A and B are shown apart, each in its own frame.
Chain A
Amino acid sequence: MIPSDLRYTKEHEWVRVEGDVATVGITQHAADQLGDIVFVELPEPGRVLAQFATFGVVESVKAVSDLFAPVAGEVLEGNASLLATPEVVNSDPYGTGWMLRIRLSDRSQLEQLLDAAAYEALTAEG
């Protein structure tokens, strides 16, 4: 259910690190809680984010929720396809529903994130 190769924030973002590039999205749990996602607002490339800074907003039919950067770095790319098809965040949050690619500035920040087991425990608490 919860991919074991990712790291997670307590605010339900995930991050996948490949080389010095971090790909960021929200978890299935978060997408399920929000319900039908209709809008994702993402930062422009070049913006530099601090760890745990707000980087955007996700809106479902019923709710609006801030997005937090799991790691610091420069925004390389937002997922432009979410403009036309935000619903893929619900259907494929760890794949085509990714949101942001960041150039990782400090790998040690990953240690401040949850692993899959810790994140699963967090969501199990309700």
Chain B
Amino acid sequence: MTEIALPTDGSRATPLLSRHVALGARMIDFGGWQMPVQYTSILNEHRAVRERAGLFDLSHMGELFVEGPDAGPALAGALVTDPTSLEVGRAHYSMICAPDGGVIDDLIVYRLAEDRFLVVANASNAPVVSDALVERIEASRSILDDGSLATALVAVQGPAARGILGPLTDVNLATLRYYAIAEGVVAGMPALVARTGYTGEDGFEVFVDNAAAGELWDILLGAGAPSGLVPVGLGARDTLRLEAGMPLYGNELDRSTTPFEAGLGRVVKLAKAGNFVGREALTRAAKAGPRRLLVGLAVRGRGIARHGYPVWAGDRRAGIVTSGTQSPTLGLPIAMAYVAPGDAVMGTMLEVEIRDTRAVAEVVPLPFYSRAR
């Protein structure tokens, strides 16, 4: 394989960069990383994940290991969830908020051992999350080890994922529950295998050392090919998560958004023991009720409602689109938007301003797509 020179523009490369280039991927800068946006076609890659399987390089994500006798309580004071409630080997979706209740990042927290947790952060936020966590756990007896630049993450997602990964690992995938994680060996390499993902399909995320990433990728690609597994870029990752109604930081979530507005109030454990950063503001926000709500929109028209497009209720500005695409699965334009609470009622007909015209858009339940179970 041709060795590719590291990017010289200051952006970071995953250990799989040369593979992506050899596979003909179109590369983009994403959160400061050189990442594949598509290999062949977003639609083809999207359909492969819905119908068969896709292989993702997610090594740009941040892996923060928090360890110590009081790691659980320390994290409970830093995040909106209560990681002490996690059994060893389980995970939950979480957020880290600012003192004013705004979302700094959304996270997955895995409990690897009684006193050891893995916090996975978005690539562009990982340095900020790492710094904030270090500061917030400073008074504890726990320490943070930022493994982001040493850890590769490869995901296998789709209905065929279990059949592809199963024979390659000693982790029992049949008993590994959704939002669970286990240490084991994958293709001869020490790994953490989690049943998590961002596609709305069954699937697995495999954490390995950077040095093992290339071999793991090649073995998974080869083992999955007979089942129709293809490499999938960030383009289809976005359309898959949007159909599944999952928020993307920077679109649905940011520093000026509270979890309640995003429909993620259930994640915030206001009643947990001990104080946590943002508790006061979030308690107030919970009482006051959200100023705006995240909704799904089914757009009746042929244009795509994209991030930042205005939403109208007649002559009244009702809100703003956060994400939109042509749903490859449904064959219709879909979007997520923040609208006034009064406009967030299912079945409400709104309008999205798409360039110089308006398209009718119906408020519909999220997610747009859920897999048959």
Contact = CB atoms under 8 A, between A and B. Distances in A.
Interface of A: 35-36, 38-39, 41, 57, 59-62, 64, 83, 90
B304 A36 contact: no
Contacts of B325: 61
8 contacts: A36-B42, A38-B304, A38-B326, A61-B239, A61-B328, A62-B42, A83-B302, A90-B41
Contact of A62 (B235, B303, B328, B355): B235
B304 A39 contact: yes
A90 B40 CA distance: 12
Contact of B304 (A35, A64, A83, A90): A64
B45 to A, nearest CB: 10
Nearest to B303: A39
B42 A61 contact: yes
A41 B354 CA distance: 12
Nearest to A66: B355
A79 to B, nearest CB: 14
B302 A36 contact: no
A36 B306 contact: no
Contacts of A36: 41-43
Contacts of B355: 57
Interface residues on B, range: 10 to 19
Nearest to B234: A62
Contacts of B239: 61
B37 interface: yes
Interface of B: 37-38, 41-43, 235, 239, 302-304, 306, 325-326, 328, 355
B62 to A, nearest CB: 24
A39 B37 CA distance: 20
Contacts of B302: 39, 41, 83
A84 to B, nearest CB: 10
A61 B303 contact: no
A60 B236 CA distance: 12
Contacts of A35: 38, 41-42, 235
A38 B332 CA distance: 10
Q: Which of A36, A83, A90 has the most CB of B within 10 A?
A: A36
Nearest to A60: B42
Contacts of A38: 304, 326
B306 A61 contact: no
A97 to B, nearest CB: 15
Contacts of B306: 64
A59 B43 CA distance: 14
Contacts of A90: 41
Contacts of B43: 36, 61
B118 to A, nearest CB: 31
Contacts of B37: 62
Contacts of A39: 302-304, 326
A21 to B, nearest CB: 26
A38 B43 CA distance: 10
A59 B42 contact: no
A60 B38 CA distance: 13
B272 to A, nearest CB: 40
A59 B37 CA distance: 17
A123 to B, nearest CB: 15
A38 B325 CA distance: 9
Contacts of A61: 42-43, 235, 239, 325-326, 328
Given A35-B235, A39-B326, A59 B41 contact: no
A31 B239 CA distance: 19
Nearest to B46: A61
Contacts of A60: 42
A38 B235 CA distance: 14
